[in-house]
């Protein structure tokens, strides 16, 4: 079965059904968690210092939850409306933007302390039309030049992706370098067909000992899996103890309704004195 990026553009492939199926899949949750923890490790942020991060291709917020757990504040961008709808339903903590990253970012220069991306930039390698602005080199150039501008100096961006050839890696790396980035490619478990992961580790500025780290070797480590399981167990305990956020509280309902209105969603119920009021039980 071919990879998703070879089947349809992301905003079409990740429709309502696929977005919900993707988010509910525990195997995908595990993979996303593992790669996000690894991306944070490569980002090499100072310990115990919350940072303002950009999550590129945030989707339904699976990677954003890891950023939350690690104490960071984040902004997420994604091109698929259905994925962002699922993120809103899940009440993720980051601010979300509907954005085609191939058209570049519009953030204020130097806004972010770092950026992460999981399984996204390979989508930019497929041209949707014959127009020059839709070509992979053009879209990659817009992506990297505006990302470079959005990051402070010094900082890092760690982008995990799935290349199909060495030529794709060379194309992406060369365009990133032309945009001003330093750094290079990190390959974890290069001798394992199943576990092999490719990360583009990019630097803005030369501070902080900016050197490309070595990829992981040997057997696949399960440290991130342990972190993921601990987080899930923590969520279960919060649910049982009643400490989890009451998603049916009035403030939560009003916030969600306002978000839906801002996004142009139709048929959002009007606010009233009955909004969020607990229904009386009838026997």
For 106-146, write each residue's pLDDT tens digit.
999 999 999 999 999 999 998 766 666 789 999 999 999 99
pLDDT tens digit sequence for 51-99: 999 999 999 999 999 999 999 999 999 999 999 999 999 999 899 999 9
Q: Fold for domain 4-244?
A: Rossmann fold (3.40.50)
> Where do the CATH 3.40.50.150 domains begin and end in the chain?
4-244
pLDDT at 209: 54
Of residues 67, 75, 60, 131, the one with CA closest to residue 106: 75
**pTM exceeds 0.85 for this model:** no
Write down how long the chain is. Answer: 283
Alpha-carbon dihedral angle through residues 165, 170, 176, 179, given to the nearest 10 degrees: -140
Query: Which residues of the chain form beta strands (DSSP E)?
Result: 52-56, 73-78, 95-98, 112-118, 151-161, 182-188, 197-204
């Amino acid at each position: 079965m071919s990879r998703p990026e070879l089947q349809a553009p992301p905003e079409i492939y990740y429709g309502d059904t696929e977005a919900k199926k993707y988010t509910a899949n525990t195997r995908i949750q595990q993979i996303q968690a593992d790669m996000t923890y690894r991306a944070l490790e490569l980002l090499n942020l100072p310990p115990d210092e919350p940072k303002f991060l950009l999550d590129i291709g945030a989707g339904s917020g699976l990677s954003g939850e890891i950023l939350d757990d690690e104490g960071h504040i984040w902004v997420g961008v994604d091109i698929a409306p259905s994925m962002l709808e699922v993120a809103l339903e899940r009440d993720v903590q980051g601010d979300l933007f509907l954005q085609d990253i191939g058209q570049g970012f519009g953030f204020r220069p130097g806004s972010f302390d770092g950026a992460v991306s999981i399984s996204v930039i390979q989508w930019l390698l497929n041209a949707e039309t014959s127009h020059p602005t839709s070509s992979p080199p053009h879209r990659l150039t817009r992506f990297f030049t505006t990302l470079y501008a959005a990051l402070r100096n010094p900082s890092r961006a760690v982008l995990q992706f799935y290349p199909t050839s060495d030529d794709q890696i060379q194309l992406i790396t060369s365009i990133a370098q032309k945009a001003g980035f330093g750094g290079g490619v990190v390959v974890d478990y290069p001798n394992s067909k199943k576990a092999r992961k490719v990360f583009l580790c990019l630097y803005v500025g030369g501070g902080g000992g900016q050197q490309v780290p070595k990829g992981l070797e040997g057997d696949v480590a399960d440290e991130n899996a342990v972190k993921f399981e601990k987080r899930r167990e923590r969520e279960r305990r919060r649910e049982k103890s009643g400490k989890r956020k009451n998603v049916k509280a009035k403030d939560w309902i009003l916030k969600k309704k306002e978000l839906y209105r801002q996004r142009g969603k139709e048929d959002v119920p009007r606010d009233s004195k009955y909004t969020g009021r607990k229904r009386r039980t009838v026997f």
